[in-house]
Amino acid sequence: MTMFHQRIGLRFRILVGVALTVALLFWLAWRLPATARMQRTFGAPSTRVWAVWTDADLMKNWWGPRNFTAPFIKNDFRVGGTYLWSMKSSKGEMFWNTGVFKEITPNRRIISTISFSDANGRAIPGSQAPVPGRWPDEITVVVEFTELNGKTSVAVTEVGIPFIVMPLSKIAWAEQFDKIQALLAQKESQ
């Protein structure tokens, strides 16, 4: 075998090894559950941020990333209560979420489940989720509000999302936080 053939063979084996490694990492990222944590500090007291976060009419202004609207938001905001939230893309696609409020500490903490659902609030299996990754039937969302000197830090933790969607989740929450900031600024000027 010539030196040329040896080099080609080595390059081919390296290329195959890299391709297999990338495929394995992608497969793992698709299947592995992860925990994502996003945080933003708003220039408003926790009572105002809490109101924007929990009032269904106000939520319609911020639920969903940029270029999404929230035409339908229904909250039975109590421990054991359920919710049904919609997101509508600029292309007209509707996405629905439902869940149960597990813990509510006013102005401090909300723990809930969240699942993909149909428009009637019936949860759909995670295997039928309309987004990438291997989704469980529900994930846990913890929202914590911490006020200091008239500003409120909000930390959102999503437990159980597919690892592959972590970057998308962080982008979506950053865009939702931007909407909340704009809503709080609008309320401040009124």
Where residue 62 sits, what CATH number does that domain have? 3.30.530.20
Report whether pLDDT(74) > 70.
yes
User: CA-to-CA distance for 177 and 63, rounded, in angstroms?
Assistant: 9
Do 173 and 83 sit in the same domain of this protein? Answer: yes
Residues 41, 2: one domain? Answer: no
Co-location of 78 and 12 in the same domain: no
Rounded CA gap, 133 and 139, in Å?
A: 13
Count of domains in the chain?
Answer: 2
Of 99-103, 132-136, 158-162, give the lowest mean pLDDT range: 132-136
Are residues 181 and 148 part of one domain? yes
Query: Can you give the residue range of the structural domain that contains 16?
Result: 1-31
The answer to whether residues 78 and 157 belong to one domain is yes
Radius of gyration for the alpha carbons in the chain, expressed in angstroms and rounded: 21
Residues 100 and 178 in one domain: yes
Do residue 72 and residue 164 come from a single domain? yes
pTM: 0.83
Rounded Cα distance, 63 and 38, in Å: 15
* In a shared domain, residues 74 and 3: no
pLDDT tops 80 at residue 22: no
112 in the same domain as 62: yes
> 2 and 69: one domain?
no
Considering the domain architecture, whether residues 62 and 85 belong to the same structural domain is answered as: yes
Residues 111 and 53 in one domain: yes
Of 143, 70, 74, residue with least CA distance to 102:
143
pLDDT at position 8 is: 65
pLDDT more than 70, % of the chain: 82
pLDDT at residue 4, as a whole number = 60
